[in-house]
Structure 1
Amino acid sequence: MKYPYIDVEVVSTQQIFKDDTMDRNEVTEAFIEKEQPDVLMLNALQSNLSNW
């Protein structure tokens, strides 16, 4: 293995899509605040979140 000391954890984003009562950006920002990810995969609509 080339990089044996790298630990990768994949976190489900299903909770972002479950809550239709809140703004999707607000839910996404709350998810990011809670999980503190090192890497994010965003689409064009998600790339303009305000608090980054």
Structure 2
Amino acid sequence: MRYRTDKGAHSVYSLQFHYVACVKYRKKVFSDNISSRLKEINLSVAEKFGVEIIEQ
């Protein structure tokens, strides 16, 4: 896997974040339309902040 790296004056780095949403109950909470709406919101926020979603 190749990482996109950024450079500073004396460093090279790659920032990656993990966003985990935990539900309160063990039963299935996300229906198909809620899941698709959540994906739309995540893509909208990612575009706004200029980040790339690798897996969802």
* TM-score bracket relative to the smaller structure: 0.3 to 0.5
TM-score (norm 1): 0.39
Q: Which has the higher contact order (CA 8 A, sep 6+)?
A: 1
The structure where strand makes up a greater share of residues is 2
TM-score (norm 2): 0.38
Tell which structure's C-alpha radius of gyration is larger.
Answer: 2
The structure where helix makes up a greater share of residues is 1
